[in-house]
Amino acid sequence: MTRKMLVTSALPYANGPIHIGHLVEYLQTDIWVRFQKACGNTCFYFCADDTHGTPIMIRAKSEGITPETLIERVHREHYKDFSDFAIAFDNYYTTHSEENRILSERIYNGALEAGSIVKKTIEQAYDDQEKMWLPDRFIKGTCPRCKAENQYGDSCDICAAHYQATELINPVSAVSGHPPVLKESTHYFFRLADFADALKELFAAGYVQSSVRNKLDEWFAAGLKDWDISRDGPYFGFIIPGEDDKYFYVWLDAPIGYMASCWNYCKQNGLDFEKVWNSGEYEIYHFIGKDIMYFHALFWPALLISAKLRRPDKLFVHGFLTVNGQKMSKSKGTFVMARTYLNHLDPQFLRYYYASKLSGDVGDIDLNVDDFVNRVNSDLVGKLANLPSRSGPMLTKTLGGTLGTLDEAGRALIDELVQARGVIVQEYETLNYASVIRRIAALADVCNKYVEDNQPWSLIKTHPEKARTVLTAVLNASRILTIYLKPVLPDFAAKMERFLNIPPLSFADTDTVLENHTINPYERLIERVEKEKVDAMIEDSKQQTAAPVAAAEPSKPTLDEPLAEECTIEDFMKVDLRIAKIASASAVEGADKLLALELDLGGVTRNVFAGIAKAYKPEDLVGRLVVCVANLKPRKMKFGLSEGMVCAAGPGGSDIFLLTPDTGAQPGQRVH
RNA sequence: GGCGGUGUAGCUCAGCUGGUUAGAGCAUGGGAUUCAUAAGCCCAGGGUCGGUGGUUCGAAUCCACCCGCCGCUACCA
Nucleotides of chain B within 7 Å of a protein C-beta? Answer: 3-6, 11-14, 24-27, 34-37, 39-42, 70-77
The radius of gyration of chain A's CA atoms, rounded to the nearest angstrom, is 32
What is the residue-averaged pLDDT of chain A? Answer: 86
pLDDT of residue A504: 97
Answer whether residue A274 shows pLDDT above 80.
yes
More confident residue, A490 or A333: A490
A434 nearest nucleotide via C1' and CA: B13
Q: What is the DSSP letter of A611?
A: S
The CATH architecture that domain A567-672 belongs to is Beta Barrel (2.40)
Whether A313 CB is under 7 Å from strand B: no
Q: What is the 3-state secondary structure (H, E, C) of A153-200?
A: CCECCCCCCECCHHHCEEEEECCCCCCCEEEEEEEEEECHHHHHHHHH
Fold match, A346-511 / A567-672: no
A427 CA → B60 C1’, Å: 25
A526 CA → B24 C1’, Å: 25
Residue A629 has phi, psi (to 5 degrees) of: -85, 110
A432 nearest nucleotide via C1' and CA: B14
Name residue A234's amino acid: P
pLDDT digit string (tens) for A358-372?
888 888 888 888 889
Cα A593 from Cα A226, distance rounded (Å): 62
A550 CA → B3 C1’, Å: 36
pLDDT digit string (tens) for A10-55?
999 998 899 999 999 999 999 999 999 999 999 999 999 999 998 8
A666 CA → B43 C1’, Å: 75
pTM of the model: 0.81
Whether A254 CB is under 7 Å from strand B: yes
**Number of alpha carbons in the 13 Å side-chain half-sphere of residue A237:** 32
The ipTM value here is 0.88
Q: Which residue is nearest to nucleotide B41 (CA to C1')?
A: A452
Q: What is the 3-state secondary structure (H, E, C) of A200-244?
A: HHHHHCCCCCHHHHHHHHHHHHHCCCCEECEEECCCCCCECCCCC
Give the CATH superfamily of A346-511: Isoleucyl-tRNA Synthetase; Domain 1 (1.10.730.10)
Cα A35 from Cα A30, distance rounded (Å): 8
11-50 on A, CB < 7 Å from strand B: 13, 15, 50
Whether A77 CB is under 7 Å from strand B: no
Residue range A329-339: mean pLDDT, rounded: 85
Tell me the DSSP string of A504-566. PP-GGGGG----S-BPPPP----PPPPHHHHHHHHHHHHHHHHHHHHHT--SS---SSPPPPP
A671: three-class secondary structure by DSSP: strand
In chain A, where are the structural domains located? 115-195+210-246, 346-511, 567-672
A187 nearest nucleotide via C1' and CA: B75
Measured CA distances, A99 to A93, A239, A255, A372 (Å): 10, 14, 13, 42
Q: Which residue is nearest to nucleotide B40 (CA to C1')?
A: A448
How big, in percent rounded to 5, are the helix, strand and coil portions of chain A? 45, 20, 35
Give Cα A347 to chain centroid, integer Å: 14
Between A254-263, A334-343, A577-586, the lowest mean confidence (pLDDT) is in A577-586
Q: Which fold has domain A115-195+210-246?
A: Methionyl-trna Synthetase; domain 2 (2.170.220)
Whether A54 CB is under 7 Å from strand B: yes
613-652 on A, CB < 7 Å from strand B: none
Whether A225 CB is under 7 Å from strand B: yes
- Tell me which range, A67-71, A550-554, A619-623, is most confidently predicted by mean pLDDT: A67-71
Whether A199 CB is under 7 Å from strand B: no
Between A212-216, A542-546, A561-565, A663-667, the lowest mean confidence (pLDDT) is in A561-565
Name residue A483's amino acid: I
pLDDT of residue A569: 63
Between A174-178, A332-336, A545-549, the lowest mean confidence (pLDDT) is in A545-549
pLDDT of residue A548: 43
Residue range A165-194: mean pLDDT, rounded: 85
Measured CA distances, A155 to A100, A145, A218, A250, A659 (Å): 32, 10, 22, 21, 45
Whether A320 CB is under 7 Å from strand B: yes
Name the band, by pLDDT with cuts 50, 70 and 90, for residue A562. very low
Q: Which residue is nearest to nucleotide B24 (CA to C1')?
A: A438
A70-75 LR contacts (CB < 8 Å, sep 24+):
A70/A14, A71/A14, A71/A96, A73/A566, A74/A14, A74/A15, A74/A16, A74/A17, A74/A49, A75/A14, A75/A49, A75/A51
455-484 on A, CB < 7 Å from strand B: 456-457
Whether A160 CB is under 7 Å from strand B: yes
Whether A294 CB is under 7 Å from strand B: yes
Between A154-168, A406-420, A467-481, the lowest mean confidence (pLDDT) is in A154-168
